[in-house]
Amino acid sequence: MSVASGTNMESMKTDLPPFPLIGKNPDEEPPRVRFAPSPTGSLHVGGARTALYNWLIAQGARVEGDTNASFIVRVEDTDVARSTKESEESVLKDLEWLGLQWDEGPVTNGDFGPYRQSERADLYKSVARILLDSGKAYPCFSTNEELESVKEAQMKAGESPRYDGKWRDADPELVQQKIDAGDPYTVRFKVPKGARVVIDDVVRGTIAWDAEATVGDFILLRSSGVPVYNFCVAVDDATMGITMVVRAEEHLTNTLRQGLILDALGAPRPRYAHCSLILGEDQQKLSKRHGATSCNQFKEDGFLPDAMINYLSLLGWNDGTDREIFTRDELVDSFDMSRVNPSGAVFDMQKLKWINGNHLKMMSIEEVKPLILEQLIKHNVLNSNGASDSINRITLAATCLAKQMMVTTVDAATNAKAVLAYPLPQSFDDLSSVEPDEQKLIKSGAFYNVAKAIVAAYDAGVLPRPNEVNVMEPFEELNGELIVEDNATGGGAYAYPAAWKTFMKTLGKEMNLKGKNLFHPARLAMTGVMSGQDVTKQMALLQLACEFGSAVDLEGGLEVVPLEVRIEMLRGFLETIPEEFRVKKEEVVVKEVVQGKKGGGG
Quote the pLDDT of residue 469: 64
Tell me the mean pLDDT in the region 392-420. Answer: 93
Nearest to 173 by CA among 8, 2, 10: 2
Assess whether pLDDT exceeds 80 at residue 486: no
Quote the pLDDT of residue 601: 40
How far apart are the C-alpha atoms of 122 and 320, rounded to whole Å? 47
How far apart are the C-alpha atoms of 435 and 438, rounded to whole Å? 5
Categorize the per-residue pLDDT at 598 as very low, low, confident or very high, splitting at 50, 70 and 90: very low
> Packing angle between helix 410-420 and helix 365-378, nearest 10 degrees?
70
The answer to whether residues 40 and 87 touch, using CB atoms and an 8 Å cutoff, is yes
The answer to whether residues 227 and 261 touch, using CB atoms and an 8 Å cutoff, is no
Beta-bridge mates of residue 73: 35
212-253 per-position pLDDT tens digit: 888 889 999 999 999 999 999 999 999 999 999 999 999 999
DSSP assigned state of 364:
-
The type of residue at 227 is: P
Mean residue pLDDT of the chain comes to 88
350-359 per-position pLDDT tens digit: 999 999 999 9
C-alpha distances out from residue 64 to 37, 56, 61, 317, 320, Å: 28, 12, 5, 20, 20
Categorize the per-residue pLDDT at 586 as very low, low, confident or very high, splitting at 50, 70 and 90: very low
Quote the pLDDT of residue 360: 96
Assess whether pLDDT exceeds 80 at residue 31: yes
55-96 per-position pLDDT tens digit: 999 999 999 999 999 999 999 998 888 899 999 999 999 999
Backbone dihedral region of 472: left (phi > 0), alpha (psi from -120 to 50 degrees) or beta? alpha
Categorize the per-residue pLDDT at 109 as very low, low, confident or very high, splitting at 50, 70 and 90: confident
How far apart are the C-alpha atoms of 544 and 116, rounded to whole Å? 52
Tell which wins on pLDDT, 336 or 470.
Answer: 336
Tell me the mean pLDDT in the region 377-388. Answer: 90
CA 583 to chain centre: 52
The answer to whether residues 186 and 222 touch, using CB atoms and an 8 Å cutoff, is yes
244-262 per-position pLDDT tens digit: 999 999 999 999 999 999 9
**288 labelled catalytic:** yes
Range with lowest mean pLDDT among 158-162, 343-347, 467-471, 566-570: 467-471
Full-model pTM = 0.87
Residue 211 CB-density burial (10 A; 0-12 exposed, 13-18 middle, 19+ buried)? buried
293-334 per-position pLDDT tens digit: 899 999 999 999 999 999 999 999 999 999 999 999 999 999
Assess whether pLDDT exceeds 80 at residue 431: no
Nearest to 472 by CA among 449, 490, 454: 490
Assess whether pLDDT exceeds 70 at residue 468: no
51-66 per-position pLDDT tens digit: 999 999 999 999 999 9
Quote the pLDDT of residue 583: 66
* Edge-first strand listing for the sheet containing 70-73: 70-73, 32-35, 244-248, 271-275
Neighbours of 407 (CB within 10 A): 21
Quote the pLDDT of residue 585: 41
Task: Print burial letters for 520-539: b (CB count within 10 Å at least 16), e (below 16).
Answer: bbbbbbbbbbbebbebbbbb
Quote the pLDDT of residue 477: 53
Interacting residues of 46 by C-beta distance below 8 A, sequence separation 6+: 248, 277, 278, 286
How far apart are the C-alpha atoms of 358 and 75, rounded to whole Å? 34
CA angle 201, 202, 205 (to 5 degrees): 50
C-alpha distances out from residue 159 to 140, 253, 441, Å: 22, 18, 72
C-alpha distances out from residue 579 to 278, 302, 442, 574, Å: 59, 47, 12, 10
Categorize the per-residue pLDDT at 290 as very low, low, confident or very high, splitting at 50, 70 and 90: low
SS (H, E, C) 266-329: CCCCCEEEEECCEECCCCCECCHHHCCCEHHHHHHCCCCHHHHHHHHHCCCECCCCCCCCCCHH
Question: Based on C-alpha coordinates, what's the Rg of the chain?
Answer: 34
Assess whether pLDDT exceeds 70 at residue 380: yes
Task: Spot the catalytic one: 13, 24, 288, 597.
Answer: 288
Quote the pLDDT of residue 497: 85
Assess whether pLDDT exceeds 80 at residue 129: yes
Tell me the mean pLDDT in the region 437-444. Answer: 80
How far apart are the C-alpha atoms of 208 and 224, rounded to whole Å? 33
Type and span of the H or E element at 73: strand 70-73
Most confident of 286-300, 370-384, 538-552: 370-384
Assess whether pLDDT exceeds 90 at residue 37: yes
Task: Print burial letters for 350-376: b (CB count within 10 Å at least 16), e (below 16).
Answer: eebbbbbbebbeeeebeebbebbbbbb
Assess whether pLDDT exceeds 90 at residue 372: yes
The type of residue at 494 is: Y
The answer to whether residues 291 and 349 touch, using CB atoms and an 8 Å cutoff, is yes
Structural domains for the chain: 1-20+117-228 (3.90.800.10), 288-375 (1.10.1160.10), 380-581 (no CATH)
Tell which wins on pLDDT, 307 or 599.
Answer: 307
Residue % of the chain over a pLDDT of 90? 65
Beta-bridge mates of residue 33: 71, 244
Quote the pLDDT of residue 594: 41
Tell me the mean pLDDT in the region 562-577. Answer: 94
Assess whether pLDDT exceeds 50 at residue 591: no
CA 450 to chain centre: 46
Nearest to 102 by CA among 65, 54, 61: 54
146-196 per-position pLDDT tens digit: 999 999 998 999 888 889 889 999 999 999 999 999 999 999 999 999 898
Quote the pLDDT of residue 213: 83
How far apart are the C-alpha atoms of 473 and 502, rounded to whole Å? 16
The answer to whether residues 255 and 153 touch, using CB atoms and an 8 Å cutoff, is no
Residue 190 CB-density burial (10 A; 0-12 exposed, 13-18 middle, 19+ buried)? buried
